[in-house]
């Protein structure tokens, strides 16, 4: 193997909430962010179930998401749910599983691109040409999720395969970051801060500087060339 993945994680309750309904899980071949829904006790439980299933899972993420949905039906009150954005690696290729409004971004050669697609009301209106992306950013119901993993009403995730390159930087985050930090500031932080751990905490500081009424979770995965002494 000629590459390695360097992973950095940070999560914060934000400045308003007392509990963190986000859950995060990372290992060398898998990174995931889940944002719980349904009130803090139920939201915490739902996102924890999601990452606990992934922690014990090996292989394709499709059946893993189906197992999360089954566990939510069996173990949580109806309506309890979570978003999920997860990357599973096989060499330089990765499978992306996504549902909800947490996000995955790719920074490549200086350009930042969202590689997940929000399952929200405002995104559906943007897709239909009934709202501009700029209007969606400030819409009061921008956090209204149309698809999630939810007890009694789970939806299928988006599943896709992608090819990474040496030098890529990936960001997984809950909407506590993207709803309250300017995308240009996120881009600049990812571009200018080489150390992943420093970068994830800088991203959280961006949201906190804007009042951070939601929980904030960030995972940065850097695809780097393996050092010669590690071979």
Q: What confidence score (pLDDT) does residue 165 get?
A: 97
pTM: 0.94
pLDDT over 60 (residue 230): no
With H, G, I as helix, E, B as strand and everything else as coil, classify residue 159.
strand
CA 129 to chain centre: 26
Which tens digits make up the pLDDT trace of 170-206? 999 999 999 999 999 999 999 999 999 999 999 999 9
For β-strands 3-12 and 216-225, DSSP reports them as antiparallel
Q: What confidence score (pLDDT) does residue 137 get?
A: 79
Which tens digits make up the pLDDT trace of 8-60? 999 999 999 989 999 999 999 999 999 998 765 789 999 999 999 999 999 99
Closest CA to 142 of 127, 121, 172: 121
Which tens digits make up the pLDDT trace of 107-130? 999 999 999 999 989 888 888 999
Q: How many domains does the chain have?
A: 1
Q: What confidence score (pLDDT) does residue 126 get?
A: 87
- Rounded to whole angstroms, the Cα distance separating 222 from 231 reads 18
CATH number, domain with residue 140: 3.60.40.10
Q: What confidence score (pLDDT) does residue 81 get?
A: 95
Q: Write out the residue range of the structural domain in which residue 73 sits.
A: 3-230
Query: Exposed (0-12), middle (13-18) or buried (19+): which is 92, by Cβ within 10 Å?
Result: middle
- Rounded to whole angstroms, the Cα distance separating 220 from 117 reads 18
DSSP 186: H
| 45 CB neighbour count, 10 Å cutoff | 22
With residues binned 3-state (H G I as helix, E B as strand, rest as coil), the percentages for the chain, rounded to 5, are 30, 30, 35
């Amino acid at each position: 193997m000629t590459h390695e993945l360097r992973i950095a994680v940070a999560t914060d309750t934000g400045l308003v909430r007392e509990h963190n309904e986000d859950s995060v899980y990372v290992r060398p071949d898998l990174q995931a962010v889940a944002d719980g829904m349904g009130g803090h006790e139920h939201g915490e439980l739902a996102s924890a179930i999601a990452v606990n299933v992934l922690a014990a899972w090996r292989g394709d993420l499709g059946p893993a998401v189906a197992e999360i949905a089954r566990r939510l039906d069996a173990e949580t009150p109806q309506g309890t749910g979570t978003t999920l954005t997860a990357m599973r690696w096989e060499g330089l290729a990765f499978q992306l599983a996504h549902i909800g409004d947490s996000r995955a971004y790719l920074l490549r050669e200086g350009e930042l691109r969202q590689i997940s697609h929000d399952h929200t009301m405002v995104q559906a209106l943007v897709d239909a040409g009934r709202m501009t992306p700029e209007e969606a950013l400030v819409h009061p119901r921008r956090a209204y999720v149309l698809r999630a993993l939810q007890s009694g009403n789970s939806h299928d995730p988006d599943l896709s395969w992608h090819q990474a390159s040496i030098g890529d930087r990936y960001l997984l985050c809950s909407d506590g970051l993207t709803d309250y930090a300017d995308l240009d500031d996120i881009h600049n932080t990812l571009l200018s801060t080489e150390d992943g751990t420093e970068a994830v905490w800088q991203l959280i500081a961006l949201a906190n500087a804007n009042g951070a009424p939601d929980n904030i979770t960030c995972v940065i995965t850097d695809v780097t060339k393996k050092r010669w002494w590690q071979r």
